[in-house]
């Protein structure tokens, strides 16, 4: 068998030197030619453009708008104090209103008490205000966000998780983009706080760097940010209120991003920006079991949003041609169709080729992806990263990342199938079932 592995790999490698780039790319058809290569070129071009842009010192701003931070809390306990303290200690001369919404406060007394006791953290912090809003019956994350939005007084509103902490210049970096009247949303940069806990947290930390810090930086250069994270999203309050607030159901972050983009086709100056220097820190699942359970929800929710809820709204007239094409390629083909293509392609090879030949082909594909990933990550370190010394540590984990991504793709196909046949979005941890089942989707 090992002779077949070596022969297959050597044949592919040797033939690569005598082939054109087009012929070489066709070896990976249709994954590279149709989907991944255009996306890779787009993101790397965006990162290079971001890095080459003239760097100017932080200018003195004329105004610092009032900011309302909506912290959605459910069972964080004492961890909510970290979030409140990191917001109270922001290096921001404007007023920050911190609204901690405690969902299901009757059964979550520890979180409620922790939020109330956090008032002591605001002593000697001028222009900081903490409001604790208990919701006695649980209604889910959307219910909490809308409750906080109803009493928010800030020109800018932030949707934040109760277990997320932030760099002390986060508010300053995130709000500066709203000096442009066309900016209606800013996606924050999330990092994994417990990255050293286990191998799965390390790989997730690397994934966050690749997909969020690097990926969204590149996409932001072309106004193509794919999602404003639910754990860290910043919005122009008036715009969100005109939309009617957050909509009931799960995947409220992708839902809100898609609803905002439905105005891009008619208002070409509207923008969603990603700022790699507006940094939040969150805990990722530290076991494989919890990780796959989380991704089961995330990937299934993507099918729910794009196919069940917005299938009639994904039109160029609403999204604009640029975002329409991006949603079709990145959202529908790469995220929903491509996992099945990978599973089918791999299965076809296993049934039609000797095992050794299959391993040789996969080894060649693995090295090609690893080479492109290394280029991608080095560009990120040079052009984007705000802490390149810390991020360079993840070079040691790059060889594992193609395998991690492959397993995620296979698992994604299972998640989509579960959503198709069981409507798993109606049984989500983000909200009680009696709330989710009242939605029309």
E strand or H helix at 220: helix 215-220
In the numeric block, the tokens 């923008």 are attached to: 271
DSSP codes, 229-288? -TTEEEEEHHHHHHTTSSPSSS-HHHHHHHHHHTTTTT-TT-EEEEEEEEEEEEPPP-SH
**pTM recorded for the entire structure:** 0.92
Q: What pLDDT does residue 11 have? A: 54
CA distance to 35, 347, 353, 405, per residue, from 341 (Å): 11, 10, 18, 14
Percent of the chain with pLDDT over 90: 68
pLDDT per residue as tens digits for the range 205-222: 999 999 999 999 999 999
Strand order in the sheet with 183-192: 128-135, 96-103, 67-73, 156-161, 232-236, 183-192, 271-282, 165-166
Which tokens is 352 given? 């039609």
For residues 204 and 192, the answer to whether their CB atoms sit within 8 Å is: yes
Predicted local confidence at residue 245, as pLDDT: 95
Own/partner long-range contacts of 390-398 (Cβ < 8 Å, ≥24 apart):
391/209, 394/202, 394/205, 394/206, 394/209, 397/202, 397/203, 397/206, 398/206, 398/370, 398/373, 398/374
DSSP count for the chain of H helices, then E strands: 18, 8
pLDDT, greater one: 131 or 75? 131
Query: What residues pair up with 153 in beta bridges, in sequence order?
Result: none
Residue 430 sits at φ, ψ, to 5 deg, of -75, -15
When pLDDT is averaged across residues 298-315 and rounded to a whole number, the result is 94
**Confidence check: pLDDT of 59 > 80:** no
Instruction: Place 62 in a pLDDT band, splitting at 50, 70 and 90.
Output: confident
CATH class of the domain comprising 67-287: alpha beta
Mean pLDDT across the chain: 89
Q: Taking 80 as the threshold, does the pLDDT of residue 12 lie above it?
A: no
pLDDT at 300 over 70: yes
Q: How far apart are CA 78 and CA 399, in angstroms?
A: 37
Query: Percent of the chain beyond pLDDT 70?
Result: 90
**Least confident window among 18-32, 146-160, 219-233, 375-389:** 18-32
The predicted structure's pLDDT at residue 361? 73
Closest by CA to 180, choosing from 276, 65, 261, is 65
Residues 6+ apart with CB under 8 A from 437: 426
Whether residue 22 is predicted with pLDDT greater than 80 in this model: the reply is no
DSSP 14-42: HHHHTS-HHHHHHTTTTIIIIIIHHHHHH
- 135: its two tokens: 């919701």
- The answer to whether residue 13 scores a pLDDT higher than 70 is no
Greatest mean pLDDT range, 3-7, 24-28, 89-93: 89-93
pLDDT of residue 35: 67
Q: How far apart are CA 84 and CA 205, in angstroms?
A: 23
Helix H or strand E segment including 83: helix 79-88
What are the residue boundaries of the structural domains of the chain, listed by start?
2-51+319-436, 67-287
Q: Does residue 437 carry a pLDDT above 50?
A: yes
């Amino acid at each position: 068998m090992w002779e077949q592995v070596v022969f297959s790999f050597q044949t592919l490698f040797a033939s690569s030197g005598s082939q054109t780039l087009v012929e070489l790319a066709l070896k990976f058809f249709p994954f590279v030619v149709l989907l991944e290569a255009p996306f890779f070129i787009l993101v790397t071009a965006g990162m290079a453009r971001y890095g080459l842009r003239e760097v100017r010192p932080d200018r003195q701003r004329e105004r610092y708008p009032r900011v309302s931070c909506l912290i959605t809390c459910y069972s964080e306990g004492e961890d909510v104090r970290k979030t409140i303290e990191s917001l109270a200690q922001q290096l921001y001369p404007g007023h920050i209103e911190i609204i901690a919404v405690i969902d299901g406060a009757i059964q979550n007394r520890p979180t409620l008490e922790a939020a109330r006791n956090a008032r002591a953290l605001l002593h000697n912090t001028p222009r900081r205000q903490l409001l604790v809003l208990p919701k006695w019956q649980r209604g889910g994350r959307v219910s909490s966000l809308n409750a906080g939005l109803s009493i928010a007084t800030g020109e800018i509103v932030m949707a934040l998780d109760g277990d997320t902490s932030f760099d002390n210049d986060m508010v300053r970096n995130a709000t500066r983009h709203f000096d442009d009247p066309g900016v209606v949303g800013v996606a924050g940069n999330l990092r994994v706080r417990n990255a050293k806990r286990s191998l799965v947290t390390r790989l997730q930390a690397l994934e966050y760097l690749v997909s969020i810090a690097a990926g969204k930086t590149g996409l932001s250069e072309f106004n193509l940010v794919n999602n404003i994270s639910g754990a860290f999203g910043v919005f122009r309050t008036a715009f969100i209120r005109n939309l009617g607030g957050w909509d009931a159901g799960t995947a409220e972050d992708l839902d809100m991003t898609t609803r905002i983009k439905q105005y891009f086709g008619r208002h070409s100056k509207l923008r969603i920006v990603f700022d790699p220097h507006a940094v939040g820190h969150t805990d990722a699942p530290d076991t494989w079991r919890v990780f796959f359970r989380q991704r089961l929800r995330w990937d299934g929710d993507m099918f729910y949003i794009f196919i069940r809820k917005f299938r009639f709204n994904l039109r160029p007239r609403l999204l604009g041609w640029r975002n329409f094409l991006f949603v079709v390629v990145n959202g529908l083909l790469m995220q929903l169709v491509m996992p099945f293509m990978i599973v089918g392609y791999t299965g076809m090879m296993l049934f039609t080729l000797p095992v050794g030949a299959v391993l040789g082909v996969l080894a060649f594909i693995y090295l090609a992806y690893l080479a492109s990933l290394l280029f991608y990550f080095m560009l990120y370190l040079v052009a984007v990263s705000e802490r390149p010394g810390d991020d360079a540590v993840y070079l040691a984990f790059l060889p594992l990342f193609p395998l991690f991504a492959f397993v995620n793709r296979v698992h994604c196909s299972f998640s989509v199938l579960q959503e198709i046949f069981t409507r798993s979005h109606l049984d989500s941890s983000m909200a009680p079932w009696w709330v989710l089942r009242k939605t029309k989707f």
